[in-house]
Chain A
Amino acid sequence: EPEVTQTPSHQVTQMGQEVILRCVPISNHLYFYWYRQILGQKVEFLVSFYNNEISEKSEIFDDQFSVERPDGSNFTLKIRSTKLEDSAMYFCASSAGLRSYEQYFGPGTRLTVT
């Protein structure tokens, strides 16, 4: 069964460093998402991406964040200058299209900023 994959599973970085989180969505899916979950808190929407552009973003997704689909299979989330409060589990998700309501999630990348 196709699934969303994410790498790395755990990333440790120092405050102020740039990190790139990688995702491979399900191959025939057209819509891509990033969510995050700070320890003990709710899963929160960050951004959605369709047709090579951001279609929706939350107030969390400020100028420090960017997304890219560099090669038709990968979907990346970049944080330019990490802060302690960026420590969280980051989930990538994808969905097939307008009439496919459910989103399929990857296993997550745990980001720890020290």
Chain B
Amino acid sequence: AQSVAQPEDQVNVAEGNPLTVKCTYSVSGNPYLFWYVQYPNRGLQFLLKYITGDNLVKGSYGFEAEFNKSQTSFHLKKPSALVSDSALYFCAVRDPDAYSGAGSYQLTFGKGTKLSVIP
């Protein structure tokens, strides 16, 4: 069964500093990996994905993530944090080997990491 771990409940970073939100995963085959962000009273907003190819993927709002197969990690990064980046961040994985034949792909989420960017 696929699973995702986000080891930090909360990450605090000063505005302008680089940020990292950690994620590790477990799947039986090659993973499809995603990051979502949730602002208060809003739904989950897609940030970026890794499917195949370059291990460094770039997404919305200046975020990027690095896929590391040997460490089974997919950490989210941003070179310079903004106060407006403060939100709840979720890592998610899909196991493509679980393809059901009907084209349905469930996401398995981590528990989320609250990012607070301090002015």
Q: Residues of A at under 8 Å CB distance from B?
A: 4, 6, 31, 33, 35, 41-45, 48-51, 55-56, 58, 91, 93, 95, 97-98, 101-108
A50, B104: Cβ atoms under 8 Å? yes
Q: Residues of B at under 8 Å CB distance from A?
A: 32, 34, 36, 41-46, 49, 51, 90, 92, 94, 100, 102-112
Task: Add 18 more A-B contacts to A55-B102, A56-B102, A56-B104 (CB < 8 A).
Answer: A33-B106, A42-B112, A48-B105, A49-B104, A50-B102, A50-B103, A50-B104, A58-B106, A91-B43, A93-B44, A95-B105, A101-B49, A102-B46, A104-B46, A105-B43, A106-B43, A107-B42, A108-B43
Enumerate chain A residues within 8 angstroms of B105, measured Cβ to Cβ: 31, 48, 95, 101
Enumerate chain A residues within 8 angstroms of B112, measured Cβ to Cβ: 42-43
Enumerate chain A residues within 8 angstroms of B108, measured Cβ to Cβ: 45
Enumerate chain A residues within 8 angstroms of B110, measured Cβ to Cβ: 42
Count contacts between A and B, CB distance < 8 Å.
67
Enumerate chain B residues within 8 angstroms of A33, measured Cβ to Cβ: 106
CA A83 – CA B105 in complex, angstroms? 28
**Are A51 and B106 also in contact (CB < 8 A) when A91-B43, A91-B44, A107-B42 are?**
no
A101, B111: Cβ atoms under 8 Å? no
CA A6 – CA B41 in complex, angstroms? 12
